[in-house]
A and B are shown apart, each in its own frame.
Chain A
Amino acid sequence: MNVAELSQIAVNALLLSGILALVALGFSLVWGIMNIVNLAHGAFIVLGAYLTFYLHEAAGIDPFLSIPICMVVMFALGFAVQRALINQVIRAPILATFLLTFGLEILLVNLVNYFCKGDTRSVTTAYTGAGITLGYVRIPYIRLAALLIALALVAALAWFLRSTRAGRAIRATGMDIDAARLTGVNVPAVYALTYGIGAALAGAAGSLLSVMVPFDPNLGGAYTERSFVISVLGGLGAIGNVVLGALLYAFVDVFVGARLPQLSEAVTFVVLVLALVY
């Protein structure tokens, strides 16, 4: 591999890591605060992608502008789902929430499949192919924008968790649920809020993905798995760790992908096992 290939791969990895960080962050937030492995995360990503697609088709809304809309819708959906369903089994043994979110994922993805048909779609705009070329490396504008937006959202989340009252309530609940309750935090509301935020971030990622790659209803599953791996790699605590984890994972994924594209899931798994066992 020569320098040109290597640098392109490196840039691709960097651009990819933004999206991965965004996706993994929502997942890891829900896991860290509520101890729920949200297998339905992928479903929210898919929903976000389709929503963006339909907004673009029906109303001509630019996909980047539809990100806030997606986020709000997904937040509402996530909030409702948590309050109505997941909250009922939250103290049960871990398998319960796992299965529940699994069931939810199947349900949602299948509904999307049914209403939207399983064809692969993508959102193309006037600027889809454009990019700049620096030396050996080509940087598509869309991916660059996606990276910047993802980083902006990550920063916003960090700010939210640190500086707002609600954010602090979330962190408190994550640290010690009883102490939080004692100081007046409304735990079910906090849980629903957290889940909603996770869903909103997933929706945003879905929106971004809709312009980046061709997608179908099954897009989500791979991202859920990757989120899991990244969360494990980075650790559930701090946002920075998750971002680093995303970066690391992105590099491994892209490098291997350049050589052995069919084995990407196997790679995910190997990384996971290595991370877990050590």
Chain B
Amino acid sequence: MTELAAPAPAPAPGSEARAARRERLRLLLRSPSFIIGAGIILFWVVCAILGSRITPFDPLYDQTADLSESPSRDHLFGTDRLGRDVFSRVIAGSRDILLVAPLATVLATVFGTVLGLTTGYFRGIADDTVSRIIDAVLAIPLIVLAVTVIASLGSRSVWSVTIVIAIVFSPIIARTVRAAVLGEAQLDYVEAARLRGERSPYVMFVEVLPNVMPPILVEATVRLGYAIFAVATLSFIGFGLQPPSADWAVQIADNYPYLSDQWWTVLFPALAISSLVVAVNLVSDSLQQVLER
């Protein structure tokens, strides 16, 4: 038989898969929203890492300036009631939120993926039960749920915020993963794996999981945006990060009673939060466009 005598398959030689990956990267890098979003995120990450080493004043204790000074040459964003430089605090304030939100998202993604894979793969009663519980949990407003859990934990550490957000977000991710797995598990390769005697965990994690990664990645970036928001909200109402952290939401909470005559102490941290959330969403949108084409 000579069908393969000339081993040059129709698609031109050269790894098609690698080309597709390069093409995806090229599309990403050509998308302005991705560049802008990634730039802003990178900026905040650098600020978080370097923190007080690059701020002109000590973000926590510096009291060299006058109290409640409006923006000036020396203090670009003014100073707060305690005489701390708002600019320095905005730069340093990125650290905690950039630690808690991504960590919570990663935890939620891992947990949600395991949950979604299991329910979507096995279906049946376990799936019905878990799915209804997830639906019920999703019906409760997120913040109410988080506040309840934190209050019952009694501890308000960075860790408990992280864990709480991870718990609250994982059902949402589980639902997305489950939907993707339902379609994927119909495919014949899953049956072929079972028919050669593979155990379920192998089929789920080695056969199915790599094929549902794109929606999981997209969902994770979307959740990151929400996680930032959730951390900020919890901190603002006093259930999240605690003073003396220079966290943006803590700053807003500290200063918003004086909003009418010290607008700069609230406006700049607020802008910082929105810039980060918008940037994450820009990245997630462009990622979605490229991955789910």
Q: Check if A and B associate.
A: no
- Chain B residues in the interface with A (C-beta under 8 A): none
- Chain A residues in the interface with B (C-beta under 8 A): none
